[in-house]
Structure 1
Amino acid sequence: MFTGIIETLGTVTDLRKDRGNLHIHIASSISDELKIDQSISHNGACLTVVSLSPGVHTVTAIEETLKRTNLADLAIGDRVNLERCTPVNGRLDGHIVQGHVDQVAQCLSVEPQNGSWVYTFRYKPETNNLTVEKGSVTVNGISLTVVDSLADRFSVAIIPYTYEHTNMQQIKTGDAVNIEFDIIGKYVARILALRS
């Protein structure tokens, strides 16, 4: 389990295709602290560390993960949001995040707001995912509060600290981002759908 509080940024150093899989090599300040078989959130997708070298760790995204996330769009030099799992006795500073990306959303706009930024994203509502104003949503692994919520889109406000310490600063109109909707909201929506 994760909290959506990004620990550090990693940089993609190499990408290797292996049939339907993609091996992603990432240099980061925490790579030397990781262990093989450890679960790490990469742009919100929980991936397993499969190999280590000095200052670099490698994870493998399988075909299902590549279809559901923006990881297939990665290029060498891209920055990736990283978060290690939350310890059982740790603080839940963000919200409950599973590291299971629900879908990719498209950035519709980035609007500077006198020291902050408002990002608007569009997603496919037919998947029965939803957002609520002042509820939680995860964008590229970042726990964020929904500002505006519509049937197929939502907006979030980004403070300078988040902008500077995550890859939000790289996101521009038209870009794809990984979205994980709030787990409690997903269960409620599922229960209501089954009762209909």
Structure 2
Amino acid sequence: MFSGIVEETGIIRDITGGGFSIQAQAIFEELKLGDSVAVNGVCLTVNEIKGNVFSVNVMPETLRRSNLGDLKHGATVNLERALTFAGRMGGHLVQGHIDTTGTVSRIGREGEAVLMTVAAPPEVMRYIVDKGFIAVDGLSLTVMKKTPESFTVSLVQFSRSHTTIGNKKSGDRVNLEADIIAKYVENFVANREGRINTDFLAEHGFLS
């Protein structure tokens, strides 16, 4: 589990048929074999550490569902180690299980803010609400507004300077992970088969 607060960016140093080697700095504190690291929001397992380079395997399904297959040698990626219970929860709960990719459709300015609009497919848009959470390339962001086909987020200067989000341009693919709470709520409601009524609400403390 992750928070969507990117710790640093790393650089792809080697690409093989089964994975990547990534050069980094800050995340090596207490990093060990078998640990999870979110790479552009994708939860991957560390299988080798050599100096300031770590390696991960990437499964074919992950390449199909995310933008990791677009990465080239020298590309910059967002990195975050898994959460610990001793840390602060600065973003939102992110699993590192990418739902699908979206496409940056517009980047504009509003005063000091940079606004980025991402076109996304229905399987993600149905979970997105105004002022709700969305993870974009592993970065926890708040939705400013949405349409049936896209959502817009505001990018603060710190995020633009310390993650890959500041380098995005129209047409770029980005990894998207919807809020897990929305998925659980949808599943729960679907399994109730329409049986949520005033009696159910009263039984669970929603009505007095």
Quote how far apart the aligned CAs of 1:89 are: 2.3
| Equivalent residue, structure 2, for 1:28 | 24
Q: 8 Å contact 1:129–1:181 — kept in the other structure?
A: no
TM, length-normalised to structure 2? 0.87
Q: Deviations over 1:99-151 (max 9, x none)?
A: 11111011111112232211111111046742000011100000000001222
1:176 to 173, 176, 179: 173
Paired letter, 2:39: H
1:105 to 90, 102, 112: 102
Percent identity between matched residues is 38
Q: Residues 121-160 of structure 1: matches in 2 within 5 Å?
A: 121-126=118-123, 129-160=126-157
Q: Residues 53-72 of structure 1: matches in 2 within 5 Å?
A: 53-72=50-69
Q: Deviations over 1:25-79 (max 9, x none)?
A: 1101135432111100000000000111111001111001001100000011111
Q: 8 Å contact 2:7–2:27 — kept in the other structure?
A: no
Larger radius of gyration: 2
Distance 1:77 1:69, change over 3 A: same
Quote how far apart the aligned CAs of 1:156 are: 0.4
Q: Residues 7-18 of structure 1: matches in 2 within 5 Å?
A: 7-17=7-17
| Structure 1 Cα separation of the partners of residues 157 and 172 of structure 2 | 20
Q: 8 Å contact 2:14–2:21 — kept in the other structure?
A: yes
| Structure 1 Cα separation of the partners of residues 52 and 109 of structure 2 | 35
Q: Residues 32-47 of structure 1: matches in 2 within 5 Å?
A: 32-33=28-29, 34-47=31-44
Paired letter, 1:25: S
Q: 8 Å contact 1:31–1:57 — kept in the other structure?
A: no
| Structure 2 Cα separation of the partners of residues 56 and 161 of structure 1 | 25
**Which structure 1 residue ranges, 5 or more long, are not aligned?**
none
Deviates more, 1:106-115 or 1:47-56: 106-115
| Equivalent residue, structure 2, for 1:3 | 3
TM, length-normalised to structure 1? 0.93
| Structure 2 Cα separation of the partners of residues 23 and 187 of structure 1 | 31
Distance 1:186 1:87, change over 3 A: same
Q: 8 Å contact 2:124–2:178 — kept in the other structure?
A: no
| Structure 1 Cα separation of the partners of residues 4 and 186 of structure 2 | 22
Q: 8 Å contact 1:136–1:146 — kept in the other structure?
A: yes
